[in-house]
């Protein structure tokens, strides 16, 4: 099971809301990860460069969440961000949690998750394509096609210029 953002919080032991950001109080989580979350008043939003642990690959991601999730028992982090541990892996390795969005943007990242899902003990040698590069290339092809098919005068008339 993989929990991202609020899903990560729910996989932990507790979610506390002392500042009444959402509903107030404290709720039990699913208890699948040895973490506890305390919601904060301020939302964290930032782009980061992360690394899958223990040996990569690196990838670009972003955080957007309210609160802090901390380990309340020994265990291992899932990722590293700017030299700090991020996310958590259950003791049996079957549950992962992270605040980082963008895990599936790179081919290497998707491969890492798929290898985990299939229970691989070694990384796959399957070819991974870069999703972001494919998406940008598709946008470029679409723009080129539209530019070739639409009379610029029509666009100017439509736009009022």
CATH topology for 2-128 is: Rossmann fold (3.40.50)
Active site residue 149: no
Residue-wise pLDDT tens digits, 73-120: 888 999 999 889 999 999 999 999 999 998 888 787 888 888 888 886
Catalytic choice (101, 127, 131, 149): 101
Could you tell me how far CA 40 lies from the centroid of its own chain?
20
> If you count them, how many residues does the chain have?
161
pLDDT digits (tens, 9 = 90+) for 40-84: 999 889 999 999 998 888 889 999 888 899 998 888 999 999 889
- Edge-to-edge strands of the sheet including 96-98? 2-4, 96-98, 88-89
Q: Write down the pTM of the prediction.
A: 0.72
| 5 is known as an active-site residue | yes
Query: 97-119 as b/e, with b when 16 or more CB fall inside 10 Å?
Result: bbbbebbebbbbbbbbeeebeee
User: Tokens at residue 153, please?
Assistant: 């005068």
């Amino acid at each position: 099971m993989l929990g991202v953002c609020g899903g990560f919080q729910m996989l932990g032991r507790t979610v506390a809301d002392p500042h009444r950001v959402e509903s107030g109080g404290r709720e039990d989580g699913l208890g699948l990860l040895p973490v506890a979350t305390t919601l904060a008043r301020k939302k964290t939003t930032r782009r980061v460069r992360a690394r899958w642990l223990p040996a990569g690959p690196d990838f670009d991601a972003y955080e957007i969440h309210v609160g802090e999730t901390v380990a309340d028992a020994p265990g291992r982090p899932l990722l590293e961000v700017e030299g700090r541990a991020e996310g958590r892996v259950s003791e049996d390795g079957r549950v992962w949690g992270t605040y980082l969005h963008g895990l599936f943007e790179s081919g290497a990242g998707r491969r890492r998750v798929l290898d985990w899902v299939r229970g691989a003990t070694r990384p796959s040698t399957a070819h991974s394509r870069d999703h972001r590069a494919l998406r940008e290339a598709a946008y470029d092809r679409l723009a080129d096609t539209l530019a070739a098919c639409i009379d610029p005068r029509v666009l100017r008339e439509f736009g009022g210029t």
